[in-house]
Chain A
């Protein structure tokens, strides 16, 4: 694992050096292709659980965008978080669906963007009464489930670095807000993943 990481770092450094000195190494297989209007990305996400101001929700997400300086697209993600108290263990799964618009600028191998997403966050909650199974509880005394849909918005800064060919490393993150029980709840979300831009 360490060796792989070291090799990867060396390659990245070599690639950066090559970019600075001209197309020497890029001619050896690290050339990037001119980017098109379409881009797809996917990766691991971390963020504040929706409608929950505690814990860390982890999962996967991705999206598709079209455009150059101004881009449109859709994104979706799934993440889950579990918290517990003396009485309950609660697992929440958040499914975020967003219509997004972005303004972006390409600089060398990098693309920088500011992305605004609007859409619903579907929350599935599963509550299990601690010690309930040992005590012989059944039904709703033991476990309850609930769904809800909450309106939400995300504002994310996006950095995409073209690594090779049509592939890029994507890092994005920023604040998010949703409305639950008539009040605004703030949070944050991040993504680390890979992008493909033919």
Chain B
């Protein structure tokens, strides 16, 4: 008898729930689930405003966020020049040792002069543009205004055009420069006032020499817009020689939220400005010495000079002379080519050289041997 009552009870419950189901079906709300679709909010949005007028009527003015690379200039460019020719080569072929060196273009959007533009970022800077370990790392970026003359929608980063090498090293293809022209950047060099995009994770290593702002507050965690007044080239070189960071004027330091307006002054194209769009193959201050080709390279439009190797490169070959060749004046990027009569691809002072023409140098070789 009790079982029958239980059956009726559960039967009633079932019918009740079924009725509830029907009512639920009628009243069910759906459609507010978004799943993996829907709009994707940006991780951060930067606001950019240009000042001044572009020197020429731009075809497609754009602003790009470019993450900076860690880079050290090669010793030849900062050591005292041993001759007037070497000094001329340094002037013609060495970029500003304190300049901003790009690593990657994060994104690019159109911009109108004197009108604000918003640049939204949907991805964090990747680990290869962040300097430091995972407990304290930072990325710096420059907002670069350029004329996208090739209509590619982005700024093509360029490399210096070096002269060909002999041996297997001679098998290379030299890519042509894009027609894009840089008209301004928020961060051009540490020797001038800058406004830079910072992204910090974890702590901040104040001793880091990655675009240092010694004397300024640490960049805040996450995205921010920070700035510094800059230091002189002489102060920078002196601090580097002393193993210290060049000091900034604390009163010229700035720190603002990521949505602060970043002003970019448009200006005539200059070597330093062009270099903002020039990547470097080596970022560790190492110099790649090349095997001279059998036939004379085309040095037209370039400067050449003979110079001794820096003592730490030469090793036991203090008499070895290098031939240094600058880029052409109309190249977009500065760069030097170094030839030696003896050496290896990775190490000019290697004990067993990959090439050795010290006894029989090429006929065109202009330096003493």
Q: Does A135 contact B (CB under 8 A)?
A: yes
Stretch of A4-12, A121-129, A159-167 at the chain-chain interface: A121-129
Contact status B34-A119, CB under 8 Å? no
* Bound complex: CA A146 to CA B35 (Å): 10
* Bound complex: CA A180 to CA B34 (Å): 12
Q: Does A23 contact B (CB under 8 A)?
A: no
* Bound complex: CA A144 to CA B6 (Å): 44
Q: Does A30 contact B (CB under 8 A)?
A: no
Contact status A118-B18, CB under 8 Å? yes
Please give, as numbers and ranges, the residues of chain A lying within 8 Å of B3 by CB-CB distance: 36-37
Please give, as numbers and ranges, the residues of chain A lying within 8 Å of B183 by CB-CB distance: none
* Bound complex: CA A135 to CA B28 (Å): 37
Contact status B24-A136, CB under 8 Å? no
* Bound complex: CA A179 to CA B27 (Å): 12
Partner of A134, one of B7, B32, B201: B201
Contact status A149-B30, CB under 8 Å? yes
* Bound complex: CA A148 to CA B31 (Å): 8
Q: Does B122 contact A (CB under 8 A)?
A: yes
Contact status A99-B124, CB under 8 Å? no
Mark contacts of A93-129 with chain B using CB atoms, 8 A cut-off: 1 yes-contact digit, 0 otherwise.
Answer: 0000111110000000000000000111001010101
With A131-B43, A135-B223: A144-B33 Cβ-Cβ less than 8 Å: no
Contact status A135-B44, CB under 8 Å? yes
Contact status B28-A137, CB under 8 Å? no
Contact status B10-A66, CB under 8 Å? yes
Selected A-B contacts with CB under 8 Å, 25 pairs: A51-B33, A64-B10, A65-B10, A66-B6, A66-B7, A67-B11, A72-B15, A74-B13, A83-B35, A84-B36, A87-B122, A99-B13, A99-B16, A101-B14, A119-B20, A119-B24, A120-B25, A123-B33, A125-B35, A132-B41, A135-B124, A146-B32, A148-B30, A148-B33, A179-B25
Please give, as numbers and ranges, the residues of chain A lying within 8 Å of B36 by CB-CB distance: 83-85, 87-88, 90
Please give, as numbers and ranges, the residues of chain B lying within 8 Å of A148 by CB-CB distance: 28-33
* Bound complex: CA A180 to CA B29 (Å): 9
The residue on B at minimum CB distance from A52 is: B35
Q: Does A174 contact B (CB under 8 A)?
A: no
Contact status B33-A100, CB under 8 Å? no
Contact status A72-B10, CB under 8 Å? yes
Contact status A119-B11, CB under 8 Å? no
* Bound complex: CA A37 to CA B9 (Å): 12
Interface size on B, residues (CB 8 A): 37
* Bound complex: CA A65 to CA B35 (Å): 35
Which residues of A in the span 131-182 have a Cβ within 8 Å of any Cβ on B? Answer: 131-132, 134-137, 141, 144, 146-151, 179-181
When A and B form their complex, what is the total count of cross-chain residue pairs whose Cβ atoms lie within 8 Å?
Answer: 126
Please give, as numbers and ranges, the residues of chain A lying within 8 Å of B33 by CB-CB distance: 51, 92, 123, 125, 146, 148, 180
Looking at the assembled complex, report how far the CB atom of A84 sits from the nearest CB atom of chain B, in whole angstroms.
Answer: 8
Please give, as numbers and ranges, the residues of chain B lying within 8 Å of A149 by CB-CB distance: 24, 27-30
Chain A contact patch, size range: 35 or more
Contact status B21-A120, CB under 8 Å? yes
Mark contacts of B107-140 with chain A using CB atoms, 8 A cut-off: 1 yes-contact digit, 0 otherwise.
Answer: 0000000000000001110000000000000000
Partner of B123, one of A36, A131, A137: A131
What 3 pairs between A and B have smallest CB-CB spacing?
A99-B17, A136-B222, A151-B25
Q: Told that A87-B40, A179-B30 touch, could you supply 18 new A-B pairs with CB distance under 8 A?
A: A36-B3, A67-B10, A72-B13, A83-B36, A90-B35, A97-B17, A98-B17, A99-B15, A101-B14, A120-B28, A123-B33, A129-B43, A131-B124, A134-B222, A135-B124, A137-B41, A141-B41, A146-B33
Q: Does A38 contact B (CB under 8 A)?
A: yes
* From B11, B16, B201, B223, residue with most partner A Cβ within 10 Å: B11
Partner of B41, one of A100, A129, A180: A129
Contact status B32-A151, CB under 8 Å? no
Contact status A119-B17, CB under 8 Å? yes
Looking at the assembled complex, report how far the CB atom of B198 sits from the nearest CB atom of chain A, in whole angstroms.
Answer: 12
Please give, as numbers and ranges, the residues of chain B lying within 8 Å of A179 by CB-CB distance: 25, 28, 30
* Bound complex: CA A132 to CA B44 (Å): 9
* Bound complex: CA A83 to CA B321 (Å): 62
* Bound complex: CA A118 to CA B24 (Å): 11
Mark contacts of B194-234 with chain A using CB atoms, 8 A cut-off: 1 yes-contact digit, 0 otherwise.
Answer: 00000001000000000000000000011100000000000
The residue on A at minimum CB distance from B36 is: A85
Contact status B34-A127, CB under 8 Å? yes
Q: Does A43 contact B (CB under 8 A)?
A: no
Please give, as numbers and ranges, the residues of chain B lying within 8 Å of A83 by CB-CB distance: 35-36
Partner of A180, one of B30, B201, B222: B30
* Bound complex: CA A90 to CA B13 (Å): 35
